[in-house]
A = this chain, B = another copy of it.
């Protein structure tokens, strides 16, 4: 395992500015008055690029930064001693990475990129000052955390109480609606989907073999199919129904 720091490559030129950020409506600085953005931006120490499939921080180790996903996908996860891995959340543009109760303590989970990605980095040490001095950011952070809590609780329900096909239906329909909410320009039922079958298994608490069989069955039932990093939805109503996912709850996820 190489030093995790080498996975973060600082962007020397062409860093984006918060006042012109295209995903601000999704992110931490949503709701910050325009004339305060240049000040809040001073807390963003820099932007980093990350290659696909790189860890950016790890459970039980310290991490200097919290991040906002500017571009790309991440998985946050925990691992057991026997190597089993549980993906806790898929982070999409606008989502926060690495916030936790005790900012100074070692991380309680790990995070890794699923695609090439760009991150905005905030030094943990300066977060208390930012939250103390800017009520909009503080309020927004609370909102984002509560949103993530809701997502986490929904996943607990699905993993604890649903069958394999139901879990996958829930997982994919939720992700599908989140993607649509972010990349709203595309009306298609095909979306980019960089997760391997093993990733899906780690997220839903199933083995990759069983994920494979279940996906085959879903394909044959005309529900959806995944191939070459593309998720094609064939019957979104049936899929949501099967997974007990209510698209209206994505409203709660958007928060803008």
Contacts and interface: CB of A to CB of B under 8 A. Distances in A.
Range of interface residues on A (Cβ < 8 Å): 35 or more
Main secondary structure of the interface of A (DSSP, over half): helix
Contacts of A249: 108
A81 B244 contact: yes
B146 A101 contact: yes
A205 B160 contact: yes
B152 A153 contact: yes
Contact of A100 (B131, B146, B160, B205): B146
Interface of A: 78, 80-81, 84-86, 88, 99-102, 105, 108-109, 131-132, 135, 138-139, 141-143, 145-150, 152-157, 159-162, 204-205, 244, 249, 252, 255
25 contacts: A78-B153, A78-B154, A80-B161, A81-B244, A86-B157, A86-B160, A88-B153, A88-B156, A88-B157, A99-B146, A100-B150, A101-B147, A101-B149, A102-B146, A105-B252, A108-B150, A108-B249, A108-B252, A142-B145, A145-B149, A149-B149, A149-B152, A155-B156, A159-B160, A161-B205
